[in-house]
Amino acid sequence: MTTLDALERWRAAGAITGEQHAVLTTIVRKDRFSVFLELNALVYLGVLSFVAGLGWTVYEHFARLGDAAVVVPLAAVFAACLYYCFAHAPPYEPARVESPNFAFDYVLYLGCLVFGVELGYIEFRFQLLRANWDFYLLASAILYFALAYRFDNRFVLSLALSTLGGWFGVRFTTLGFHIAGSLRGDALAYATVTAAVGWSLYQLAIKSHFLETYLHVAANAALGALLSGVFDSDYRSLWLVVLLVASGVTIHRGVQARRFVFVVYGVIYGYVGLSSRVLASLQGSISLMFAYFIVSGIAVLVALVALSRRVGREE
């Protein structure tokens, strides 16, 4: 029996999906296949690495370089990125608009990250806003939102949402006011507002495909906040119950919407929260802890594989 025959038998038996069969068959036959996702990941990591190196260089050598030698080149890079994007972008549409070329999204993302580095340097050196420095975060978030919607870029939208979340937390802490008396309440409120805004824009048909990005951020913020209650609260058992319910809802909706990443969110957050209480009840028994991690880890992996197959077949 050849490898191709085995793949066909596995597909017929339901062991692999049709999509998986097509990919594996292409590899076995040594046909050409797409590496688009891999290239995107490499370029994305390259942009992050470049900006991280740029930030490190500025931090380590600004005294020797001088302010002008830092601010002017950073501003020039940001302006060049914006010029490129405005020069090559198609007109704005409320519906999905495809990028004009492979590099476009990453040039815009690079410009936004460089803008953040420059604002951070300006405040570090000149302290223009002093105690109100968090308004840099708010201004950055507003700019990122505008650019994300103008150029239909989900990378920049994610950056805008995370920056706004940072401002949200810092501003509440500065004011000495927290929803429900803790940052946990702030995070839950932020998750609720994020999901509500995304859903509202979806209903208005304004970049409806952005809804998933809003839900990614909202789900992680909400589940992370609930998980913190399991670790640091006087009502750990209650927070665990709420976390498990929220994780179950996330898994259910992920399966229904055929978005496996939300299934992973629900499983991982729920598993970590449940494990924290189980390990606390084992009272430091190394052998029992080790056995728990082996058994539960295998169970989680099996569950994820089973769910991935279900989602894959629905797709």
- Mean pLDDT (whole number) for 137-166: 94
**Residue 157 contacts residue 142 (beta carbons within 8 Å):** no
31, pLDDT greater than 60: no
**One-character DSSP codes across 237-304:** HHHHHHHHHHHHHHHHHHHHTT-HHHHHHHHHHHHHHHHHHHHHHTTT-HHHHHHHHHHHHHHHHHHH
CA 22 to chain centre: 29
Q: How many CB atoms lie within 10 A of CB 192?
A: 14
pLDDT digits (tens, 9 = 90+) for 164-220: 998 888 887 777 776 766 788 889 999 999 999 999 999 999 999 999 999 999 999
Give the mean model confidence (pLDDT) for residues 65-71. 87
pLDDT of residue 4: 67
User: Which tens digit of pLDDT belongs to each residue from 119-147?
Assistant: 989 988 888 888 888 889 999 999 999 99
Length of the chain: 315
pLDDT tens digits, residue range 275-299? Answer: 988 888 877 678 888 888 888 889 8
With vertex at residue 44, the alpha carbon angle to CA 262 and CA 62, rounded to the nearest 5 degrees, is 125
What is the structure's pLDDT at 81? 95
- C-alpha span between 187 and 172 (Å, rounded): 11
Q: Say yes or no to pLDDT of 70 above 60.
A: yes
HEC-encoded secondary structure of 150-202: HHCCHHHHHHHHHHHHHHHHHHHHHHCCCHHHCHHHHHHHHHHHHHHHHHHHH
Would you say residue 227 has pLDDT above 90? yes
Q: In this predicted structure, what is the pLDDT of residue 247?
A: 95
Within 8 A by CB and 6+ apart from 281, the residues are: none
The encoded tokens of residue 137 equal 């975060």
The letter for the amino acid at 197 is: V
Q: How far apart are CA 214 and CA 154, in angstroms?
A: 10
> What value does the mean pLDDT take over residues 235-260?
91
Average pLDDT value over all residues in the chain: 86
